[in-house]
Amino acid sequence: KAGVTQTPRYLIKTRGQQVTLSCSPISGHRSVSWYQQTPGQGLQFLFEYFSETQRNKGNFPGRFSGRQFSNSRSEMNVSTLELGDSALYLCASSPLAGGREQFFGPGTRLTVL
Amino acid sequence: GIQVEQSPPDLILQEGANSTLRCNFSDSVNNLQWFHQNPWGQLINLFYIPSGTKQNGRLSATTVATERYSLLYISSSQTTDSGVYFCAVLLLQGGSEKLVFGKGMKLTVNP
């Protein structure tokens, strides 16, 4: 069974631009979560989607948004990029709602210049 | 919110040595996972362990939920064990779930 895939793997943007990252979960997994990893803040929860609905969101500004499609694939968008948005963005999927093991993709490394 | 603390923050070992990583959490949790982050950034699942003990080769983990801690044991360490180890607790909030991570522990295994 294929793992969680994320595209692109690397991205360089400039301040003020916007970016869209994509995540395809493990086949059959319906819950997709996004996390941001930075040297200063560590790994932080961004949001979680299940059945095309955002069920939870972390403490991030409204510039961070996401969505989930009917095939469970998910995208996250960051608008008006800031230097501090440079980070590794990790996507995770789990098979069912509630209390299930999460499996992570390889991540997208975003650099904002 | 819940606090997840890992110790020690850094550890340097000689190949063949054993080590114990500790994860303390400040409140009741629904589950707990241990990860190893590879040099390219991917989080590799090691254990999904709400309570009790599990073993996988040279690695084993024990979670004592009532005392709010988990331990990861690495025996006969190898250079390939080097990297950052994360403990994360799973919280359920109104049907949603999220992981809260510790700050990680950097392990260096020297040949």
Contact across the interface for B88 and A105, Cβ inside 8 Å? no
Strand A10-13 and strand A108-112: the pairing is parallel
CA distance A59 to A17: 21
pLDDT digits (tens, 9 = 90+) for A67-101: 999 999 999 999 999 999 999 999 999 987 555 79
- Res A97: pLDDT: 57
Question: Considering only alpha carbons, which residue of chain B is nearest residue A53?
Answer: B96
Which pLDDT tens digit goes with each residue over B57-106? Answer: 999 999 999 999 999 999 999 999 999 999 999 888 777 788 999 999 99
C-beta atoms of B97 and A103 within 8 A:
no
Least confident of A5-9, A15-19, A57-61, B89-93: B89-93
Enter the DSSP assignment of B74: E
DSSP A26-79: PTT--EEEEEEEETTTEEEEEEEEETTEEEEE-S--TTEEEEE-TTS-EEEEE-
SS3 content of chain A, % helix, strand, coil (to 5): 5, 55, 45
Interface residue of B6, B92, B97 to substitute, partner A, most A CBs within 10 Å: B97
* % residues pLDDT > 90 (chain A): 88
> What is d(CA B5, CA A113) in angstroms, rounded to the nearest whole number?
33
Please report the sign of the dihedral spanned by the C-alpha atoms of residue A55, residue A62, residue B44, residue B87.
negative
3-class DSSP state for residue A21?
A: strand
What secondary structure letter does DSSP report for B42?
P
Contact B80, B69 (CB under 8 A): no
Closest to B63 measured CA to CA, from B48, B76, B43, B78 = B48
Tokens of B28: 């009741």
- CA distances to A3, A18, A90 from B43, in Å: 12, 26, 9
Pairs of CB atoms within 8 A across A/B: 72
- What distance in Å separates the CA atoms of residue B69 and residue B91, rounded to the nearest whole number? 15
- Percentage with pLDDT > 70 across chain A: 97
Distance of alpha carbon B88 from alpha carbon A100, whole angstroms: 13
On whether any CB of chain A is under 8 Å from the CB of B48, the answer is: yes
